[in-house]
Amino acid sequence: MITLQEQIAEAQRELALRHSAYPKWIKAGKLDAGQAKYQILVQQEIVRTLMRLDAEQRQLSLFGAGPKGCACRGAGLVGDTVPSTQHEP
């Protein structure tokens, strides 16, 4: 399994590569400037999303796991805002 931290690092590496390579590719006529700008913006949002998910997971880990036997355990739903009395085992 590839960890979220590894995914963030790879997304950041790809963003840095695009910032480095795209100007050369545009100059050489291999990439349209508008398409390059769009692809960089998309990659920036990917990095932001992954970092937001990481921050949210870190906050949720402060609260521990959901109620014992709850379907939310291990399903990425731990720490949701539904009171524990409403969780289905």
State which residues form the domain around 8: 1-62
Per-residue pLDDT tens digits of the chain, which is 89 residues long: 999 999 999 999 999 999 999 999 999 999 999 999 999 999 999 999 999 999 999 998 887 754 455 455 455 544 444 444 444 44
Q: Measured between alpha carbons, how far is 65 from 87 in angstroms, rounded to an integer?
A: 13
The answer to the question of residue 27 being in a domain is yes
The answer to the question of residue 28 being in a domain is yes
The answer to the question of residue 57 being in a domain is yes
The answer to the question of residue 70 being in a domain is no
Domain count, the chain: 1
The answer to the question of residue 72 being in a domain is no
The answer to the question of residue 75 being in a domain is no
Angle at the Cα of 12 (from 43 to 25), degrees rounded to 5?
60
